[in-house]
Amino acid sequence: MKFTWLKWSALPAAVLLAGSVAMAQDQTSSQSQSGSSAPAAAPAATPAPAAKPTVAQRKENQQDRIAQGVKSGQLTAGETSKLETKEAAINGETKADRAANGGKLTSAEKTQINGQQNQLSKQIYADKHNANTANPGNSKVGQRQENQQDRIAQGIKSGQLTAGETAKLENQQKGINQQVKADRAANGGKLTSVEKQQVNKEQNAASKNIYNKKHNAKTQPQAKPKQ
């Protein structure tokens, strides 16, 4: 009789213990399935596609690349003049299109200009990576030439020089450079005192021309960041 009572009195305690173990197992199983008791992190948002550059931003980018090429010597005066002549033509076409459409460009005109800028972009790359480089040397004549190119490059970068103005300045430098090259070839690689004086006089005139064009009313409009 005493044994029977002990058996039945122990049963509730065993049931209670079994229930506690089962509850603990359920909690452990639930946590392992979720990976952690902390709430799951929200999925990362997909970044929005980058906005296409505007016509003005594309033009400014081309000018920056040309300015860098002039500064580094990757572009000769002749190459720069041709590139700037093409850029000036695109700018002139853009200006005419805007004037004909109340200051705006149609979708077709934007597509046309973008295609032209694509071609110019390829030309800039090709000219900057060909065998032709501006190598003025360490002579006074060479240092003067490099200084003029640095001033032109700064004017392009800052927007003080338009594409048309730059083309004219580079044509002037091209003429001086060709003259120096011809004089050197005729004198065993050197310049006579008279030739040096002549080149210096021409660079003085070019220097004044650079200054005047950088400080006149004409400027290259800088593109505004797209909001």
* pLDDT tens digits, one per residue of 140-168: 999 999 999 999 999 999 999 999 999 99
204-227 mean pLDDT? 85
pLDDT above 80 (res 121): yes
Block residue for tokens 């004089």 = 183
Please write the tens of the pLDDT for every residue from 54-113: 999 999 999 999 999 999 999 999 999 999 999 999 999 999 999 999 999 999 999 999
pLDDT above 50 (res 124): yes
Q: State the average pLDDT for the chain.
A: 84
> What's the confidence (pLDDT) of residue 8?
42
> What's the confidence (pLDDT) of residue 108?
96
Q: Distance between CA atoms of 170 and 154, rounded to whole angstroms?
A: 13
Q: Distance between CA atoms of 155 and 149, rounded to whole angstroms?
A: 10
Please write the tens of the pLDDT for every residue from 52-71: 789 999 999 999 999 999 99
Q: With beta carbons less than 8 A apart as the criterion, state whether 162 and 218 touch.
A: yes
Please write the tens of the pLDDT for every residue from 19-37: 554 445 555 544 544 444 5
Q: Which helix (H) or strand (E) holds 50?
A: none
What is the number of other CB atoms lying within 10 angstroms of the CB of residue 67?
21
Nearest to 166 by CA among 96, 93, 79: 79
Q: Distance between CA atoms of 44 and 93, rounded to whole angstroms?
A: 45
Q: pLDDT-derived band of residue 138, with 50, 70 and 90 as boundaries?
A: confident
* Structural domain boundaries in the chain: 55-214
